[in-house]
């Protein structure tokens, strides 16, 4: 089959289109014919080697973390989806490979594709949708009437998180660049901070939740807008000791993680707020809930650009520039 692979780690590694063996599903896995896959910031971080100590993938590695497609075959214990079923998924972090004609997915990570979304739109939803759900619902427990700040509202996670927070009944503030202020408001944001012109800490206060995807400076400043008992959830780090324990990291790595997050955890404690790091996990049941919301019209992926599989390197470079509006998708058909 055709697949986009990297042969070594590095930010300057372009990757290549290769002919490789088609994967075989295990007993609890499903083989999916990939129609589309989305490009995430995570893909570039994996390519750079940022996760090689936590997720030591064998090389050459097929990139790609989420996709939409059609079930082709299933293992002996994977009977929920029959051949021909249209599905979407976030692949197992330990066995990625969505930038290919076929991918193997754990049955419990798979869900029925939303009926009102095409394959491109469905492929754009799993990773960012699960990230938004797990941050706002699972960790922060966002409730109707609460106030949430979502950084980078024009990004892949931000566009879905704004829509999800509004569906939950929250008051939503977001940050974005000048060119995106208008259409981010159309997504449902109640307050939009143009980070090129304004400092969000002078505009916002008394918030219940902040979803951070930005750098260390933005992370620490976000503490200032939270009220006592509020919750700062970061998907860009630093990771916490709880994350290290969940991943089963070695003692030296656990110590390193503890030191990395010591400052932000201490500052959060002094202000009487909670700090959590989220490394999103696959969950087919949560994808079912997101599919239902998509079919209700409560959420819909925003697609910036589409690239064919042969141009996957260009798609990664486009995302690396950090100016996407919504998601970038790779089509495989």
Q: Which CATH class is domain 2-125+301-331?
A: alpha beta
Give CB contacts under 8 A, 24+ apart, made by 306-312.
306/120, 306/330, 306/331, 307/39, 307/331, 309/2, 309/4, 309/17, 309/99, 309/100, 309/101, 310/17, 312/4, 312/15, 312/17, 312/39, 312/63, 312/99
Residue that is written with structure tokens 């750098």 in the block = 215
CA distance 249 to 196: 39
Whole-number pLDDT of residue 250: 87
Residue that is written with structure tokens 């009102």 in the block = 116
Give CB contacts under 8 A, 24+ apart, made by 253-258.
253/53, 253/54
Residue-by-residue DSSP string for 283-325: -HHHHHHHHHHHHHTS----EEEEEEGGGHHHHHHHHHTT--S
Contacts of 33 (CB under 8 A, 6+ apart): 69, 70, 71, 72, 101, 102
At residue 328, the 3 state secondary structure works out as strand
**Planar angle of CA 117, 120, 126, nearest 5 degrees:** 80
CA distance 46 to 67: 17
CA distance 115 to 161: 21
User: And the tokens for 30?
Assistant: 């499903």
Per-residue pLDDT of the chain (333 residues; tens, 9 = 90+): 999 999 999 988 989 999 999 999 999 999 999 999 999 999 999 999 988 888 889 999 999 999 999 999 999 999 999 999 999 999 999 999 999 999 999 999 999 999 999 999 999 999 999 999 999 999 999 999 999 999 999 999 999 999 999 999 999 999 999 999 999 999 999 999 999 999 999 999 999 999 999 999 999 999 999 999 999 999 998 999 998 888 888 888 889 889 989 999 999 999 999 999 999 999 999 999 999 999 999 999 999 999 999 999 999 999 999 889 999 999 997
Residue 246 zone, left/alpha/beta (φ > 0; ψ -120 to 50; rest): alpha
Whole-number pLDDT of residue 257: 86
What predicted TM-score, i.e. pTM, was given to this entire model?
Answer: 0.97
**Planar angle of CA 305, 297, 34, nearest 5 degrees:** 45
Whole-number pLDDT of residue 12: 87
Which is it for the CA torsion 162, 166, 201, 182, positive or negative? positive
Whole-number pLDDT of residue 248: 84
- Residue 116 half-sphere exposure toward CB, CA atoms < 13 A: 12
Any idea where the domains of the chain sit in the sequence? Answer: 2-125+301-331, 128-277
Indicate the DSSP class of residue 23.
Answer: P
Contacts of 235 (CB under 8 A, 6+ apart): 131, 135, 157, 211, 212, 213, 277, 278, 279, 280
Dihedral angle, C-alpha 225, 229, 232, 233, nearest 10 ° = -150
Pick among 1.10.3720.10, 3.40.190.10, 3.40.1080.10, 3.40.50.720: CATH of 128-277: 3.40.50.720
At residue 118, the 3 state secondary structure works out as coil
Q: How far apart are the two ends of the chain, measured CA to CA in Å?
A: 12
């Amino acid at each position: 089959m055709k697949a986009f692979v990297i042969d070594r780690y590095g930010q300057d590694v372009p990757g290549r289109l290769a002919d490789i063996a088609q994967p075989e599903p295990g007993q609890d896995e499903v083989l999916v014919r990939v129609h589309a896959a989305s490009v995430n910031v995570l893909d570039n971080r994996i390519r750079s080697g940022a996760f090689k100590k936590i997720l030591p993938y064998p090389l050459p590695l097929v990139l790609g973390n989420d996709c939409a497609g059609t079930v082709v075959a299933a293992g002996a214990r994977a009977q929920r989806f029959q051949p021909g079923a249209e599905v979407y998924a976030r692949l197992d972090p330990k066995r990625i490979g969505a930038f290919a004609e076929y991918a193997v997915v754990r049955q419990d990570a798979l869900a029925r594709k939303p009926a009102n979304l095409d394959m491109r739109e469905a492929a754009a939803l799993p990773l960012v949708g699960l990230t938004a759900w797990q941050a706002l619902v699972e960790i922060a427990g966002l409730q109707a009437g609460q106030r949430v700040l979502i950084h980078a509202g024009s990004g892949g996670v931000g566009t879905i998180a704004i829509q999800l927070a509004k569906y939950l009944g929250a008051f939503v503030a977001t940050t974005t660049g000048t060119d995106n202020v208008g259409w981010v408001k159309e997504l449902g944001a109640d307050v939009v901070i143009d980070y090129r012109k304004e400092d969000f800490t002078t505009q916002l206060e008394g918030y219940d939740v902040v979803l951070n995807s930005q750098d260390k400076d933005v992370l620490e400043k976000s503490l200032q807008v939270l009220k006592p008992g509020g919750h700062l959830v970061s998907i860009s780090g630093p990771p916490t000791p709880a994350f290290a324990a969940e991943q089963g990291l070695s003692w030296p790595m656990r110590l390193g993680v503890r030191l990395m997050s010591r400052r932000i955890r201490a500052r959060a404690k002094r202000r009487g707020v909670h700090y959590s790091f989220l490394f999103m996990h696959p969950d087919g049941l949560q994808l079912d809930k997101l599919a239902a919301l998509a079919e209700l019209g409560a959420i819909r992926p925003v697609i910036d650009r589409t690239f064919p599989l042969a141009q996957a390197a260009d798609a990664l470079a486009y995302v690396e520039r950090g100016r996407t509006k919504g998601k970038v998708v790779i089509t495989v058909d």
